[in-house]
Every structure is written in structure tokens, then in C-alpha cells.
Amino acid sequence: MKEKTHLLFSYGTLQLENVQIENYGRTLKGERDRLIGYTTEKKQITDPTVLVKSQLDYHPIAVKSDNESDAIEGTLFEITDTELAETDKYEVSEYHRILETFESGKKAWVYVAKI
């Protein structure tokens, strides 16, 4: 049975080739898009597994904004069910996954700050 595919929006470390290879065993193909009504803040990462994969102490985290002119640039990637589950493991507990609509009109999963 073929796995279902999903669109995932990345605005941070999942755009890095080394992180993709560590998480999925392959590089992802994607297209640029924008998430409207959000800004990013920096989040210190302490999870050792994530630190090894990203090699960065701070990751951006999307935060809902009151200003509709705010937007986050990033990439929409197509991933499988299994890869989405791996992404859930990669993202630390301060993030949660939601479905949003992007500037292109496409719907995709994105990890944002827990409220």
C-alpha cells in the first residue's frame, strides 16, 4: 500500500540538506511559499538528538501575529506519512503541528509555537 503524502512547510532547520538526510535519509524537493500572519522568534534547543542533527543551538519558531502584513518565508515539501511521524519526533515540545493555508492557497502542515 502506497503511503499518503503531505505538504510540510519549513521555515527553519528542515530546509537544511544535512537535517533532511539525518531525518529522512534523502533530500526533499520543495517550492517556496509564505505563511501569512506569523513572525518568528528564536528558541533555544536543548534536546541532544535535535542538536546533533541541526548543529544549531537556536531554531526559529513561528508565532501567530496580530498583523496580517507579517509573513514567514519558507519551503513547502512533499513528505510521506512515515516522514511526517519522523518530523514529529524531531520537533521539540515547544512546537506543535497545525494545518494552515499558505500564500499560494495550498494547505500544509507547519510547526508553530504552543500557545
pLDDT tens-place string over residues 70-113: 999 999 999 999 999 999 988 877 889 999 999 999 999 999 98
pLDDT tens-place string over residues 7-63: 999 998 899 999 999 999 999 999 999 999 999 988 887 888 887 888 878 888 899
CA–CA dist 64, 30 (Å, integer): 23
Rounded to 5°, angle at Cα 111 from 14 and 74 = 50
Domain extent, residue 29, equals 5-113
CA distances from 67 to 4, 35, 112 (A): 34, 12, 16
Say how many domains are in the chain. 1
Rounded to 5°, angle at Cα 97 from 93 and 102 = 140
* Domain harbouring 29, CATH code: 3.10.490.10
